Structure 1
Amino acid sequence: MTHPSKPVPSGTDGITAPLRYPNFRRIWLASLLTNLGILIQGVGAAWAMTQMTSSADQVALVQTALLLPIMLIAMPAGAIADMHDRRIVGLIALSIELCGATALTALDWSGLTTPNLLLAFCFIVGSGMALMGPAWQSSVSEQVPSEALPAAVALNGISYNIARSVGPAIGGIVVAAAGAMAAFALNALLYLPLILALFLWKRISKPSPLPPEKLSRAMVSGVRYIINSPSIRIVLMRSMVIGVIGGAIIALMPLVTRDLLHGGAQTYGMMLSAFGLGAVIGALNITELRKRMSGEAAIRACTLSMGGAMAAVALSREPVLTAAALILAGAVWMMSWVLFSVGVQLSAPRWVAGRSLAAYQAVSSGGIAVGSWAWGQLTDAAGVDTALLVSAALMLVSPLLGFWLPMPRISERGQEAEMLADPEVRLALTGRSGPLVVEIEYRVAQENARPFHHLMHEIQLFRQRNGAYGWSIARDIADPELWTERYHCPTWLDYLRQRNRSTQSERALDRQAVAFHIGSQPVRVRRMLERPFGSVRWKEDAHNAANNILPADCKHGGRQ
Structure 2
Amino acid sequence: MTGPGADAEAPAPGLFSALRVRAFRVLLLALLGANTALWLHTVVAQWVLTVGGASPAAVAGVQAALVLPFLVLALPVGHVVDSRGAGRMIPGAMAAMALASAGLALVAARGPVGSWLLIAATAVLGCGLVLCIVGWQNRMPQLVGRERMGSAATLDGMVFNGARAIGPAVGGLLLAFLGAAWVFAVDALIFAAAAAICTRFPTPVRSDATPPGSMGPAVRGGVRFVRHSPWMRRTLLRLVLFSLPAAAFWALFPVIAHDVIGLGTVEFGLAFLVIGAGAVLGPALVQPVRRRWPVNVFVAVGCTGYAAGLVLVALDVPVAVLVVALFVIGTAWVTVQSAWLTGAHRVLPDWVRARSIALILVVHQVCQGGGALLWGWIADGLGVRTTAVIAGGVMAAAALTAVRWGMLPVDGMDPSAAPSQFRNPVGDDRRAVLLVVEYRVDPCGVEPFMAALRLLEGTRRRLGAERWAAWREEGGPGHGGDAVLVVETFRMRSLVEWADVQSRRWTVAERRLLDDVLRHALAAPGFRILVET
Q: If the length of structure 2 is used for normalisation, what is the TM-score?
A: 0.91
Deviations 1:121-166 (A, max 9, x none): 1011011101221111111000011110110000111111222233
One-letter amino acid matched to 1:336: V
User: 1:517 maps to which residue?
Assistant: 521
Counting only pairs closer than 5 Å after superposition, residues 330-341 of structure 1 correspond to structure 2 as 330-341=330-341
Q: Deviation of residue 292 (structure 1)?
A: 1.8
In 2, Cα distance between equivalents of 1:112 and 1:337 = 37
1:222-233 aligned at under 5 Å gives the runs 222-233=222-233
Contact 1:253 1:268 in 2 (8 A): no
Contact 1:345–1:413 (CA<8 Å) still a contact in 2? Answer: no
| Candidates 469, 474, 484, aligned match of 1:472 | 469
- Match in the other structure for 1:79: 79
| Match runs of 1:405-424 below 5 Å | 405-411=405-411, 414-418=414-418, 423=423
Aligned equivalents of 2:350, 2:412: Cα separation in 1:
12
Q: Offset at 1:83?
A: 2.4
Q: Residue in 1 aligned with 2:442? A: 445
Q: In structure 2, do the counterparts of structure 1 residues 321 and 486 end up closer, same or farther at CA, with 3 Å as the change threshold?
A: same
Q: Is the 8 A contact 2:257 2:268 kept in 1?
A: yes
Closer/same/farther in 2, CA of residues 440 and 449 from structure 1, 3 Å limit: same
1:176 aligns with 176
> Per the alignment, do residues 436 and 352 of structure 1 end up closer, same or farther by CA in structure 2, a change over 3 Å counting?
same
Q: Which residue of 2 aligns with 1:495?
A: 498
Bigger drift between 132-141 and 40-49 goes to 40-49
2:88/2:203 contact within 8 Å kept: no
Counterpart residue number, 1:31? 31
2: CA distance, partners of 1:368 / 1:127:
15
Amino acid at match of 1:158: M
- 1-structure distance, mates of 2:427, 2:321: 69
Residue matched to 2:235: 235
Which residue of structure 1 lines up, in the alignment, with residue 199 of structure 2?
A: 199
Where 1:87 maps in the other structure, the secondary structure is coil
Relative to 1, partners in 2 of residues 1:296 and 1:447: Cα closer, same or farther, differing over 3 Å? farther
Q: How does 1:113-512 map to 2 (within 5 A)?
A: 113-208=113-208, 211-285=211-285, 287-402=287-402, 405-411=405-411, 414-418=414-418, 423=423, 431-480=428-477, 481-500=484-503, 501-512=505-516
SS in 1 for 2:488: strand
Task: Give the residue type in structure 1 aligned to 2:516.
Answer: Q
Task: Between 286-295 and 465-474, report the one with greater CA deviation.
Answer: 286-295
CA shift for structure 1 position 38: 1.6
- Which deviations, in whole Å up to 9, do the C-alpha atoms of 1:40-86 show, x marking residues without a partner? 22222111112333311111111111111123322112112222331
The answer to whether the 8 Å contact 1:437/1:489 transfers is: yes
Report the alpha carbon displacement of residue 400 of structure 1 after superposing the two structures with TM: 4.3
Tell whether the 8 Å contact from 2:87 to 2:202 is kept in structure 1 after alignment.
no
1 CA distance for matches of 2:38 and 2:202?
26
Give, in whole Å, the separation in 2 of the partners of 1:259 and 1:209. 54
For 1:417, what is the secondary structure of its paired residue?
A: coil
> What is the Cα deviation at residue 282 of structure 1?
3.2
Structure 2 distance, partners of 1:191, 1:413, is 38
Which structure has more RCO (C-alpha within 8 Å, separation ≥ 6)? 2
The answer on whether the counterparts of 1:30 and 1:194 sit within 8 Å (CA) in structure 2 is yes
SS at match of 1:206: coil
Inter-CA distance 28–286: structure 2 relative to 1 (3 Å threshold): farther
Q: Which residue of 1 aligns with 2:481?
A: none
Compute the displacement of 1:203 (Å).
3.3
1-side partners of 2:296 and 2:404: how far apart? Answer: 11
Contact 2:95–2:192 at 8 Å: present in 1 too?
A: no
The separation in 1 between residues aligned to 2:13 and 2:417, in whole angstroms, is: 29
Conserved 8 A contact 2:84-2:210: no
Distance in 2 separating the partners of 1:485 and 1:309: 54
SS in 2 for 1:191: helix
- Residues 60 and 252 of structure 2 are in contact (CA less than 8 Å); yes or no, is this contact kept in structure 1? yes
Question: What's the RMSD between the two structures over aligned residues?
Answer: 2.2
Q: 1:419 to 1:449 in 2, by over 3 A?
A: closer
Query: Does the Cα contact within 8 Å between 1:436 and 1:527 map onto a contact in 2?
Result: yes
Q: Taking structure 1 as reference, are residues 478 and 499 closer, same or farther at Cα in structure 2, changes over 3 Å only?
A: farther
Equivalent residues of 2:75, 2:355 under 8 A apart: yes
Q: How far apart are the structure 2 equivalents of 1:449 and 1:290?
A: 44
Number of residues of Structure 1 aligned to a counterpart in Structure 2: 515
Measured in 1, the distance between the counterparts of 2:378 and 2:318 equals: 23
Residue by residue, what CA displacement relative to the aligned partner does 1:255-307 show, whole Å, maximum 9, x if unpaired? 11111111111111111111121122333256434422223212211112211
**1:483 maps to amino acid:** V
State the shift of 1:338 in Å: 0.6
What secondary structure, in the 3-state scheme, does the structure 1 residue paired with 2:88 have? helix
Distance in structure 2 (CA, Å) of the matches to 1:504 and 1:283:
32
After the TM superposition, which of the residue ranges 120-129 and 232-241 deviates more from structure 2?
232-241
**Distance between the aligned counterparts of 2:361 and 2:345, measured in 1?**
12
Q: Which residue of 2 aligns with 1:97?
A: 97
Per-residue displacement from partner, 1:455-483 (whole Å, max 9, x unpaired)? Answer: 21221111111111111122111445221
Deviations 1:189-216 (A, max 9, x none): 1113331232111533233275443222
Aligned 8 A contact 1:307 1:395 in 2: yes
Q: Once the 2 structures are TM-superposed, how far is the Cα of residue 399 of structure 1 from its aligned partner?
A: 2.9
Q: Gaps (5+ residues) in structure 2? A: 1-11, 478-483
Contact 2:32 2:160 in 1 (8 A): yes
Instruction: Give distance in 2, aligned partners of 1:374 and 1:382.
Output: 12
478-487 vs 336-345, which moves further: 478-487
Q: What is the rounded CA distance, in whole Å, between the counterparts of 2:471 and 2:113 in structure 1?
A: 66
1:529 aligns with 2:526: no
**Helix, strand or coil for the counterpart of 2:68?**
helix
More deviation, 61-70/477-486: 477-486
User: For the structure 1 residues 374 and 31, does the alpha-carbon distance in structure 2 shift closer, same or farther, using more than 3 Å as the test?
Assistant: same
- Could you tell me how far apart the structure 1 residues matched to 2:398 and 2:37 are? 34
Mapped contact 2:434–2:529 kept (Cα < 8 A)? yes
Are 1:15 and 1:284, in contact at CA under 8 Å, matched by a contact in 2?
A: yes
> Structure 1, unaligned stretches of length 5 or more?
1-11, 532-560
Contact 1:140 1:149 in 2 (8 A): yes
Instruction: Supply the distance in 1 between the matched residues of 2:388 and 2:103 (Cα, whole angstroms).
Output: 34
Separation of aligned partners in 1, 2:386 and 2:415? 49
Amino acid across the alignment from 2:184: F
